[in-house]
């Protein structure tokens, strides 16, 4: 979570058909705690989606597509800022740990977790535990009134670090972890009392069935203290939790991502920058260079890394800057996600956004600040004010490609034209071609795929009877030698996998 340093903070490609929600009403039951988090599955960040809409999306889109988890926005009580037109970052200014937020009520959250679990989708919560709100005073989404450093029944001035000024030296680890991130009240996470409150909050969520946590602003918590908090949580919770930490590490600062590996995964921000720059041809990068993308580029080890093309901060130019593709870049953005989902590195996070014109703008709302729904009266509002890029066919259908090729952890049969046309296989399980040029590509590709006819899943999938490919005139024919010849338009892709192989006619 990074947003610009505002004075008020430091002082006073196509679509899917509309999907219908399940007809039967959900009946609440005791939460079922997942025994194992889905730690290697693709997950999607439904940024600022209300809990009821998340539940409906799990049932109608995410579960059927094989998406393993959803990252939700911070569920705790947060400040409400009507004078700022309810900005997105109000969610990252906690007032208390009551589960009453712009996303919905505690009951709504419990229902969402259970409905998603039944659809095969785990919920990860964005955990804001580094700080509290930075405003001088205000009221929270559950009605709690506060002043900075005084949060009723929770924290007082003694619970915050004595450095009451904004971070101004990223070469000094003490400054980064003990001073205030853009004026937010920085918790003293060395304090047993503070640690106890944070553990209680995380444990409450885990006991409701939350399967993992994104640790927001982990870089601003001393890694030893974050470890103490997580160790206490694990001591008190019998299940496993997927922990992934926001550590923005450009490789030139005092706080390093590798210090946090011991606690769980880290979000590697450099990945999206490298891939985006390759698709734009910036800083000397081309798609051909991506053959070696990985730890040798200064990225985290694959089994430690959560990766994305963009996230809510990078869309807005926050979080250290850099060049990142977003949904506003259309076909190139879709192709970058195709690459991420096809290339065997890290755990991919897909972004799902809302439209915005300025970097403060919050989600679509009614005048009172209530978030407008995505699913409503049997229809949905995707591909407009809600972007829903996770539903773009070239992105959604590649989830099945990744699942189908997981057993082959390396790249095989790499081909490139020395520039921005590439292809690679995943052994005998899958093969992808990406044309990042604006001109067409015609080539005969060597694969290890079994002979037969395959659907190009970036365009469509098998029909229900598995007799034809949806949304494409003819399947791709792989011959006995494992070869096929195709022509791809500029800025397009082709992906084949064994799960999209047509039966012999």
Number of C-beta neighbours around residue 88 at 10 A: 21
Give 435's Cβ-side CA count (13 Å radius): 17
Relative to beta strand 69-72, strand 43-46 is: parallel
Q: How far apart (Å, rounded) are the C-alpha atoms in residues 278 and 336? A: 9
Catalytic residue among 53, 77, 246, 310: 246
**Does the pTM exceed 0.85?**
yes
Q: Is the pLDDT of residue 26 over 90?
A: no
Q: Which of 380, 491, 455 is CA-nearest to residue 52?
A: 380
Q: Is residue 211 part of a domain?
A: yes
| 391 lies in the same domain as 433 | no
Q: Which residues pair with 244 in a beta bridge?
A: 214, 265
In a domain, 45, yes or no: yes
Task: Let me know if residue 456 belongs to a domain.
Answer: yes
Same domain, 289 and 321: yes
Round to whole Å and give the CA distance between 49 and 37.
22
The residue segments making up the domain with residue 420 are 412-500
- What is the per-residue pLDDT for 319? 67
Choosing from 396, 430, 454, the residue where a domain stops is: 396
Instruction: Based on the fold, state whether residues 68 and 108 are members of the same structural domain.
Output: yes
480, pLDDT greater than 80: yes
C-alpha 203/C-alpha 241 separation (Å) is 11
Residue 81 forms part of a structural domain: yes
Averaged pLDDT for residues 389-407: 96
466 pLDDT more than 60: yes
> How buried is residue 386: exposed, middle or buried, by Cβ count under 10 Å (0-12/13-18/19+)?
buried
Same structural domain, 370 and 445: no
- C-alpha 300/C-alpha 345 separation (Å) is 10
Classify residue 327: in a domain, yes or no. yes
How far is C-alpha 165 from the geometric centre of its chain's CA atoms? 31
Calpha distance 46→57 (Å, rounded): 9
pLDDT digits (tens, 9 = 90+) for 101-141: 999 999 999 999 999 999 999 999 999 999 999 999 999 99
When pLDDT is cut at 50, 70 and 90, the band that residue 37 belongs to is very low
424 and 384 in one domain? no
Looking at the DSSP bridge assignments, the partners of residue 124 are 71, 212
Q: How many domains does the chain have?
A: 2
Q: Which of 216, 310, 313, 360 is catalytic?
A: 216
216 is a catalytic site residue: yes
Q: Which of 370, 396, 422 marks a domain boundary?
A: 396
In this prediction, residue 463 carries a pLDDT of 74
Yes or no: say if 213 and 125 are a contact pair by the CB < 8 Å rule. Answer: yes
For residue 10, what pLDDT band results from cuts at 50, 70 and 90?
very low
Task: Over range 188-198, report the average pLDDT.
Answer: 98
Three-state DSSP at 198 gives helix
* Domain identity same for 275 and 143: yes
- CATH number for the domain that contains residue 436: 2.60.40.1180
Cα separation, 496 vs 453, in Å, equals: 9
Q: Are residues 390 and 424 in the same domain?
A: no
- Are residues 332 and 273 part of one domain? yes
pLDDT computed for residue 1 by the predictor: 52
Please give the Cα distance from 266 to 349 (Å, whole number): 12
Average pLDDT on 78-88 reads: 97
Crossing angle of helices 331-342 and 269-280, in 10° steps, is 130
Same domain, 109 and 238: yes
**Any domain includes 213:** yes
Q: Cα–Cα distance between 171 and 413 in angstroms, integer?
A: 43
- At residue 472, does pLDDT exceed 90? no
How confident is the model at residue 20, as a pLDDT? 26
Do 427 and 315 fall within a single domain? no
Q: Is residue 8 domain-resident?
A: no
Share in percent of the chain as helix, strand, coil (round to 5): 30, 20, 50
Checking if the pLDDT of 359 tops 70, the result is yes
pLDDT at 180 over 90: yes
In this structure, the answer to whether residues 367 and 471 fall within a common structural domain is: no
Query: From CA 388, how far away is CA 46, in angstroms rounded?
Result: 8
Calculate mean pLDDT across residues 235-259. 96
The first and second tokens of residue 51, run together, are 């809990």
Q: What is the pLDDT of residues 91-103, one digit of tens each?
A: 999 999 999 999 9
**In which element (H, E) is residue 220 found?**
none
Same domain, 473 and 343: no
Domain assignment of residue 5, yes or no: no
Q: Is the pLDDT of residue 8 over 90?
A: no
Q: What CATH number is attached to the domain comprising 188?
A: 3.20.20.80
Contact assessment for residue 54 and residue 112, using Cβ atoms and an 8 Å cutoff: yes
Contact 354, 47 (CB under 8 A): yes
Single residue among 339, 372, 396 that ends a domain in this structure: 396
């Amino acid at each position: 979570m990074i947003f610009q340093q505002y004075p008020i903070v430091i002082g006073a490609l196509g679509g899917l058909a509309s999907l219908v929600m399940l007809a039967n009403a959900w009946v609440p039951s005791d939460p079922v705690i997942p025994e194992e988090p889905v730690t290697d599955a693709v997950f999607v960040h439904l940024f600022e989606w209300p809990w009821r809409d998340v539940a409906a999306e799990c049932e109608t889109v995410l579960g059927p597509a094989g998406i393993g988890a959803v990252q939700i926005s911070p569920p705790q009580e947060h400040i409400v800022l009507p004078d700022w037109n309810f900005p997105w970052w109000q969610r990252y200014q906690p007032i208390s740990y009551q589960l009453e937020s712009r996303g919905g009520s505690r009951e709504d959250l419990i229902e969402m977790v259970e409905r998603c679990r039944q659809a095969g989708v785990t919920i990860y919560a964005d955990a804001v535990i580094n700080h509290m709100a930075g405003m001088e005073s205000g009221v929270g989404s559950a009605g709690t009134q506060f002043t900075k450093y005084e949060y009723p029944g929770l924290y007082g001035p003694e619970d915050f670090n004595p450095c009451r000024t904004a971070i101004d030296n990223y070469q000094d680890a003490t400054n980064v972890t003990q001073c205030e991130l853009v004026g937010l009240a920085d918790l003293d996470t060395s304090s047993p009392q503070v640690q106890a409150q944070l553990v209680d909050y995380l444990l409450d969520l885990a006991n409701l069935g939350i399967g993992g946590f994104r640790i927001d602003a982990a870089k601003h918590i001393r890694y030893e203290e974050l470890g103490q908090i997580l160790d206490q949580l694990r001591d008190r919770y019998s299940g496993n939790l997927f922990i992934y930490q926001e550590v923005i590490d450009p490789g030139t600062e005092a706080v390093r991502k590798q210090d946090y590996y011991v606690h769980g995964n880290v979000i590697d921000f450099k990945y999206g920058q490298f891939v985006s720059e390759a698709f734009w041809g910036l800083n000397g990068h081309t798609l051909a260079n991506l053959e070696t993308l990985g730890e040798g580029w200064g990225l985290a080890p694959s089994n430690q890394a959560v990766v994305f093309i963009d996230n809510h901060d990078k869309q807005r130019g926050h979080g250290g800057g850099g060049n990142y593709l977003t949904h506003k870049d259309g076909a190139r953005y879709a192709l970058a996600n195709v690459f991420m989902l096809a290339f065997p590195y890290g755990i991919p996070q897909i972004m799902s956004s809302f439209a915005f014109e300025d970097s403060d703008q919050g989600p679509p709302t009614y005048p009172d600040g209530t978030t407008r729904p995505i699913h409503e009266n049997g229809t949905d509002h995707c591909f407009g004010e809600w972007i829903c890029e996770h539903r773009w066919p070239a992105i959604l259908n590649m989830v099945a490609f990744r699942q189908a090729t997981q057993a082959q952890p390396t790249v095989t049969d790499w081909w490139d034209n020395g520039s921005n046309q590439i292809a690679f296989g995943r052994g005998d399980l899958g093969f992808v071609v990406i044309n990042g040029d604006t001109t067409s590509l015609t080539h005969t590709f060597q694969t290890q795929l079994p002979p037969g006819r395959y659907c190009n899943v970036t365009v469509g999938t098998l029909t229900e009877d598995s007799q034809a490919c949806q949304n494409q005139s003819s399947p791709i024919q792989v011959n006995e030698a494992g070869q096929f010849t195709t022509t791809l338009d500029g800025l397009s892709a082709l992906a084949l996998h064994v799960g999209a192989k047509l039966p012999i006619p």
